[in-house]
A = this chain, B = another copy of it.
């Protein structure tokens, strides 16, 4: 039972292929936590509100790492805790996630967390600036 991804793409359509890679139930939520909640460690992710199972978390982190979406590293002086971080490729998922948030705000807003609304509004008012600022923020941590 190898952990190696099967890399089976359903077609050569770019949209379909992207969904083959990040279109599962959990990957984008892990990315979201890294982007907006500054989560970095296995136990950080396992504590998120949606309650990802640890076996799934483990397999997704490995998959995302193999895809070059996240990096796995350590802090000096600590051999226990793994620190996961977004690669460039992972950071570039930001616009997708923000558009999802906006759609949700427009169409499912009964489910919208109170704290998220100003965030989405700021994105709507100037998307390019908002994204640029977020990339800046990613770079400084």
Bound-state Cα–Cα, A108 to B22, Å: 12
Interface size bracket, A side = 35 or more
Please report whether the interface of chain A is mostly helix, strand, loop or mixed according to DSSP.
helix
Question: A101 near B: Cβ within 8 Å?
Answer: yes
Contact B9 A111, beta carbon cutoff 8 Å = yes
Contact B116 A14, beta carbon cutoff 8 Å = yes
Residue in contact with A97 in the complex, picked from B15, B92, B107, CB distance below 8 Å: B15
Residue in contact with A100 in the complex, picked from B15, B107, B108, B120, CB distance below 8 Å: B15
Question: A60 near B: Cβ within 8 Å?
Answer: no
Question: A81 near B: Cβ within 8 Å?
Answer: no
Q: Which residue of B lies closest to A49 (CB)?
A: B11
Bound-state Cα–Cα, A99 to B116, Å: 21
Contact B19 A103, beta carbon cutoff 8 Å = no
Bound-state Cα–Cα, A10 to B23, Å: 16
* 87-108 of chain A: CB within 8 A of chain B: 89, 92-93, 95-97, 99-108
Excluding A12-B113, A14-B108, 20 further A-B contacts by CB distance (< 8 Å) are A10-B49, A10-B51, A13-B32, A13-B49, A13-B50, A13-B113, A14-B109, A15-B28, A15-B29, A15-B32, A15-B97, A15-B100, A16-B29, A17-B111, A18-B101, A19-B100, A23-B24, A95-B102, A96-B103, A99-B99
